[in-house]
């Protein structure tokens, strides 16, 4: 599909995707197996051509407020799993409002409210509803929620009170691998929450990890699983071993696999949102991910923020270099520009007025 094609024929491959070509499993195997730098560059080129057809040089930006690092789960890969003896925090409402006011000035399109599955909020979900309402009031921006699995009633109430986007990553759609990563958690329950949310008008994001024992066949299962859920945003992130977790001794792989998967995602989801997270390798890593076909920059924080992220490559750095001004400067050096708020809002509005109808697993 890529390896034996001359550069001047790659545009035809991109055009076929734009016209609706679907990748076969054999196509996916070929692309995920690429090892030669020239072939990977060809794949990246096709992904960028497809992205640029749908989005031009426009990039979406969003910030996060990681307002609680408490969690009831014991995920093998996560620094914040309940068994890890670490210092944790839970922001109060005044702190959340203050941070929301700060990120409002960061030239972003959306605020992501992120937490572990904190019993404080999960046992009394009205408290989380109050957080969503407060941040909506302070910013006037679309709100993404990343709370873990919540029941249908709570998801409905959150949506009615301002939540527009649900981020709920399966991490893998390979059920055997899922059991090893999300220890003791229901695969179907997690899938159900995302499907239910989409059906009532949320935009939804699914995501997978790479470098956690997944091989090419496992990755294909995950790609097809995401495809079946018809998400509005799809992501892949390289696993970074975290101190104090069951997987802390795992050798970290390079980001090469992630970059290939980003390009493959662009070919499978040509007109969808695909993030480049600052949480892994900062602005330099953002550039590589955008060059692979991403069109969203996530994990933007204000220059003086000390909030946690998921990976926090920069936890110990005095200058975190993840503010929107720094991001936009680099984007413009690449010939890219932040999209308008109206462009992002149109994505939210399309989902609100045309809810999906995906069969929901009970």
pLDDT tens readout for residues 127-167: 999 999 999 999 999 999 999 999 999 999 999 999 999 99
Annotated binding site: 71, 75, 77-78, 112, 146, 169, 171, 182, 190, 235, 277, 298-299
Q: Is the pLDDT of residue 4 over 90?
A: no
CA 197, CA 55: separation in Å to the nearest integer? 25
- Give the mean pLDDT of the chain: 93
Helix (H) or strand (E) holding 134: helix 126-139
C-alpha distances out from residue 246 to 73, 86, 101, 264, 304, Å:
13, 14, 37, 30, 32
Give the pLDDT band of residue 75 (cuts 50, 70, 90): very high
Annotated binding site for S-adenosyl-L-methionine: 77, 171, 182, 190
Annotated binding site for (3R)-3-methyl-D-ornithine: 112, 146, 169, 235, 277, 298-299
Predicted pLDDT of residue 304? 67
58-353: CATH number: 3.20.20.70
Annotated binding site for [4Fe-4S] cluster: 71, 75, 78
Q: Is the pLDDT of residue 46 over 70?
A: yes
CA 278, CA 37: separation in Å to the nearest integer? 24
């Amino acid at each position: 599909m890529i390896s034996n094609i001359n550069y001047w024929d790659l545009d035809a491959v991109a055009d076929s995707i734009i016209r609706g070509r679907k990748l076969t499993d054999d196509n996916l195997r070929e692309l995920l197996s690429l090892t030669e730098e020239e072939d990977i560059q060809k794949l990246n080129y096709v992904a960028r051509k497809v992205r640029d057809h749908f989005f031009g040089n426009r990039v979406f930006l969003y910030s996060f407020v990681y307002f609680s690092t408490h969690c009831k789960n014991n995920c093998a890969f996560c620094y914040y799993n309940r068994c890890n003896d670490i210092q944790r925090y839970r922001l109060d409402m005044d702190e959340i409002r203050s941070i929301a006011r700060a990120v409002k000035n960061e030239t972003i399109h959306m605020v992501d409210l992120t937490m572990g599955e904190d019993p404080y909020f999960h046992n009394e979900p009205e408290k989380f509803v109050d957080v969503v309402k407060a941040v909506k009031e302070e910013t006037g921006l679309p709100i993404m929620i990343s709370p873990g699995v919540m029941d249908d009633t709570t998801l409905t109430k959150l949506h009615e009170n301002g939540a527009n986007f649900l981020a709920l990553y399966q991490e893998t759609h390979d059920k055997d691998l899922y059991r090893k990563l999300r220890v003791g958690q229901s695969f179907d329950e997690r899938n159900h929450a995302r499907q239910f949310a989409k059906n009532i008008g949320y935009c939804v994001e699914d995501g997978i990890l790479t470098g956690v024992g997944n091989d090419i066949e496992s990755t294909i299962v995950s790609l097809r699983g995401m495809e079946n859920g018809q998400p509005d945003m799809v992501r892949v992130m390289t696993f970074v071993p975290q101190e104090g977790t069951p997987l802390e001794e795992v050798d970290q792989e390079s980001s090469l696999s992630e970059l290939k998967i980003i390009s493959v995602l662009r070919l499978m989801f040509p007109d969808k949102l695909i993030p480049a997270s600052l949480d892994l390798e900062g602005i330099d890593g953002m550039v590589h991910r955008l060059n692979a076909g991403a069109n969203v920059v996530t994990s933007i924080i204000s220059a003086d923020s000390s909030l946690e992220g998921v990976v926090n490559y920069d936890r110990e750095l005095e200058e975190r270099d993840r503010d929107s001004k720094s991001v936009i400067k680099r984007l413009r050096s690449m010939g890219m520009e932040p999209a308008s708020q109206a462009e992002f809002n149109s994505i939210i509005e399309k989902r609100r007025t045309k809810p999906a109808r995906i069969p929901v697993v009970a």
